[in-house]
Amino acid sequence: MKLNRKEFLSLSGKTLMGLPFFPALMTQAWSHPETPKMMTGEAMIEVKVKKLILKHTWTISRNSSDFKNNVFVRLEKDGIVGYGEAAPNVRYGESAEKTVKRIQEASHLLNNRDFFHYVEIKEALDGVIVDQNCARAALDIALMDWVGKALGVPLYRLWGLNPERAPVTSFSIGIDTPEMIRKKVKEAEAFPILKIKVGTDRDEEIIQAVRSVTDKPIRVDANEGWKSREEALEKIQWLKDQGVEFIEQPMPAEQIDDIAWLRERVDMPIVADEAVKTAADIPRLVGAYDGINIKLMKSGGLQEAWRMIQLAKALGLKIMLGCMIESSVAISAAAQLAPYADWLDLDGNLLISNDPFSGVKVEQGKLIFPDRPGLGVEGTF
């Protein structure tokens, strides 16, 4: 069958529109006579440190805290404002002071730039901020929030995602006394899945306290707490009978060979957390882990998290989207990628009592997205 030029172009367009990777916003651009104009004016960046108060003392295998000092970014250009957040983590040598300094040092990279060239901006930020990934995350989140608002769409539309396909999120229970564990579990009654922190010599006591008040599915995170493969094997074999779905970072990140040994001997998925920060870390984890926990604060933002998702899926790894102790800014940012995930743990904002923003909500573990562009967050900077 021979086609004339008009028929060929029409058929080609229909074929492309049917491909799953065809960008949703490209179809939107074709549907409207005007596309976003280049905006290269001066950017104004404000940085603030806010003290986020935890509802309960937050204890994991390596430390405890009652509050977190997170760094917030307000990025304004051409009358549009984007918000970002950094949650510094001592495990990665980060602090609020260093994060603020890195953001200030890199702020010039956003001046006289077309913000729709966000990939180019990300590459520039990667080259300047090399020791505080959460600082890159704050700027990347603010930039992507700005882009979504400029386009007038939620960020998940940039990837053509359906928010209804996001799995339910778990709710995290930190290490505590049996009495407090039971209290926290009852407070989390609305959540269908719990994530329990372990990694100490009281692990069985903690799990037994959980099981004394609920039989709902649980996931377990040792935060590198078990130091030998024999200890990890014994603990996981016991946990298997307690209705545990998977174990997260059972041993220190550098013990990849030991974790590969462990994986051959247990019938439970093992998920990497501290062992993976960016896409560059993923290939070496194949064979040792069944999945990876992607956090915006480790990756350096939404763009790198998206790259990690694509690479991990190509290598046959499951995807978990997690978080640090964060406000609704960073949680709402991570939620934009939630439909890609096999597992979610986006509860950082639910663990604090003074969230300065509102955005994505949680009802019965299900993410509820606001009908607003960008991250969809509102609040007082």
pTM value is 0.89
Q: Report the relative pairing of strands 218-221 and 194-197 from DSSP bridges.
A: parallel
207's CB contacts (< 8 A; 6+ apart) are: 196, 198, 218, 220, 239, 242, 244
Instruction: Give the model's pLDDT for residue 180.
Output: 97
d(CA 135, CA 298): 10
Instruction: Give the model's pLDDT for residue 41.
Output: 66
- Asked if residues 376 and 370 have their Cβ atoms less than 8 Å apart, the reply is yes
Structure tokens at 14: 């229909």
Low-confidence ranges of the chain (pLDDT < 70): 1-41
What domains can be seen in the chain, in order of their start residue?
44-152 (3.30.390.10), 157-379 (3.20.20.120)
Structure tokens at 153: 């769409």
d(CA 275, CA 264): 18
Three-state secondary-structure class, residue 20:
coil
Concatenating the DSSP letter of every residue in 117-168 gives -HHHHHHHHHHH--S-HHHHHHHHHHHHHHHHHHHTSBGGGGGT--GGGPPP
